[in-house]
Amino acid sequence: MSTDRVVIVGASHAGAQLAANLRKEKWAGAILLIGDEGRLPYQRPPLSKAYLAGDCHLDDVAIRSRQFYDKQRIELVDGTVTSIDRAERTVTLGNNDAVSYSKLALCTGARARALPVPGADLPGVHYLRTATDVEAIRAAAVPGSRVVIVGGGYIGLETAASLRTLGVEVTVLEAAGRVLERVTAPVVSEFFDRIHREKGVEVRTDAMVEGFRGDERVDGVVLSGGETLAADLVIVGVGVIPNTELAAAAGIDVENGILVDDRARTSDPDIVAAGDCANHRIERYGRRVRLECVSATTEHAKIAAATICDNTTGRAALPWFWSDQYDLKLQIAGLNTGYDEVLVSGNPAHGRDFTCYYLTAGELIAADCVNRPADFVTAKRAIAQRAPIVRSELIGAAP
């Protein structure tokens, strides 16, 4: 049997998929998957949706079963990697054990961005990134309690929708002028603002948080104008920060993530990176990005596994995303950065299904499809193929 060993740092979606793909690529050596949550690797997207709402158990969102890892000879190690010695090809764990590797994969993911305001460390102030986070939130979100969510991005709105199903009062605070401002066109923001208000969520934009109030636990959120909102529970969702410290300390190139080439290789050819922590170039858009989505993570994992095994695989597919809120499924094809025109099919001001197409210089670059799966499939294909579009056909597209 081969004495080669792949060590994967991070039992994340990327890490679990990479491990599985190594066996598909015929890696015969040992595989160590190191994670620090003490759980089987699980999917993160359901955390703010079905898992928070209590509609599923953690076993339901496990990426693979325990039996799968055993059968595929993938060793799960509960621990934290504290350093990498590239010259010796070892990683050191928190208990000071040194583990040797032939190839190393960094799937370190990202962590919730902290809100640097007074009172941020009070009990009752939560972030939503891990299953443990969600379990603490769900335990505190008793019917009738007052929850303030700081951040009107996808995580904030998904969390608001899930909490409303649990019977709590929800206020969403967004510092920008509209929800989802960084990621969608105004028409999409207005649609989700309307939907949440109809469901009883109080949405406040241009709302800057100055701090959290409370003695033994949080009981209020202080806004920049001096107003204080009563709160039994606060959830902060203001983005994430890639976990690059381990790579940087080892002398690996980082810049808004761990820099990788089109084969998922870092600046060290024996080390790959994949998932939320990896910054890679998307040829379709001619620029580098760091994507926080399952589709990109899955593609990264496939490419990284093939690279480790000295095989080749196709380039990463077009990025796509989704968001579930109430009975709405938003499916997003492509990246809309730099759009100069939008076309809308449907009536987002009154209906519950529509598609917003994003164009740059007449070319379709992205689409937001709400409850329109057929539009999503068509748009995804057209964007990837850079196919010519007919505006009248897009606008007249049927659900």
- Residue in 33, 38, 34 with CA at minimum distance from that of residue 72: 33
In a domain, 116, yes or no: no
Three-state DSSP state, 353:
coil
Q: Which of 236, 251, 278 is the last residue of a domain?
A: 236
CA–CA dist 333, 252 (Å, integer): 32
Q: Name the burial class of residue 329, with classes exposed (0-12), middle (13-18) and buried (19+) by CB atoms within 10 angstroms of its CB.
A: middle
How do 74-78 and 30-35 pair as beta strands? parallel
Over the stretch 136-163, which tens digit does the pLDDT of each residue have? 999 999 999 999 999 999 999 999 999 9
Looking at the structure of the chain, the number of domains it has is 3
In a domain, 313, yes or no: no
In a domain, 9, yes or no: yes
Same domain for 46 and 132, yes or no, is no
Answer for the pair 268, 252: CB distance below 8 angstroms, yes or no. Answer: yes
In a domain, 228, yes or no: yes
**Residue 83: partners with Cβ closer than 8 Å, 6 or more residues away:** 91, 92, 246, 249, 250
Same domain for 185 and 228, yes or no, is yes
Quote the pLDDT of residue 316.
65
Same domain for 142 and 229, yes or no, is yes
Quote the pLDDT of residue 23.
97
Q: How confident is the model at residue 100 (pLDDT cuts 50, 70, 90)?
A: very high
Q: Which of 190, 206, 236 is the last residue of a domain?
A: 236
Same domain for 261 and 231, yes or no, is no
Q: What is the mean pLDDT of residues 179-183?
A: 96
Question: Which of residues 390 and 353 earns the better pLDDT score?
Answer: 353
Same domain for 282 and 145, yes or no, is no
The overall average pLDDT reported for the chain is 94
In a domain, 315, yes or no: no
Same domain for 37 and 81, yes or no, is yes
In a domain, 176, yes or no: yes
Structure-token match 């529509």, residue found: 354
Over the stretch 216-234, which tens digit does the pLDDT of each residue have? 999 999 999 899 999 999 9
Q: How confident is the model at residue 192 (pLDDT cuts 50, 70, 90)?
A: very high
Same domain for 103 and 11, yes or no, is yes
Question: What is the domain-level CATH number for residue 231?
Answer: 3.50.50.60
Same domain for 105 and 15, yes or no, is yes
In a domain, 245, yes or no: yes
Quote the pLDDT of residue 217.
96
Over the stretch 330-364, which tens digit does the pLDDT of each residue have? 999 999 999 999 999 999 999 999 999 999 999 99
Answer for the pair 103, 11: CB distance below 8 angstroms, yes or no. Answer: no
In a domain, 314, yes or no: no
Look at the alpha carbons of 64, 67, 71, 76 in this order and tell me if their dihedral is positive or negative: positive
Same domain for 280 and 342, yes or no, is no
Over the stretch 264-273, which tens digit does the pLDDT of each residue have? 999 999 999 9
**Residue 208: partners with Cβ closer than 8 Å, 6 or more residues away:** 175, 223, 224
CA–CA dist 354, 182 (Å, integer): 20
Quote the pLDDT of residue 233.
97
Amino acid identity of residue 164, one-letter, is: R
Q: Which of 236, 253, 274 is the last residue of a domain?
A: 236
Question: What is the domain-level CATH number for residue 382?
Answer: 3.30.390.30
Q: How confident is the model at residue 130 (pLDDT cuts 50, 70, 90)?
A: very high
Same domain for 250 and 207, yes or no, is no
**Residue 332's domain spans which residues?**
327-395
Question: Is residue 398 predicted with pLDDT exceeding 60?
Answer: no
Same domain for 150 and 221, yes or no, is yes
Q: What is the mean pLDDT of residues 52-72?
A: 93
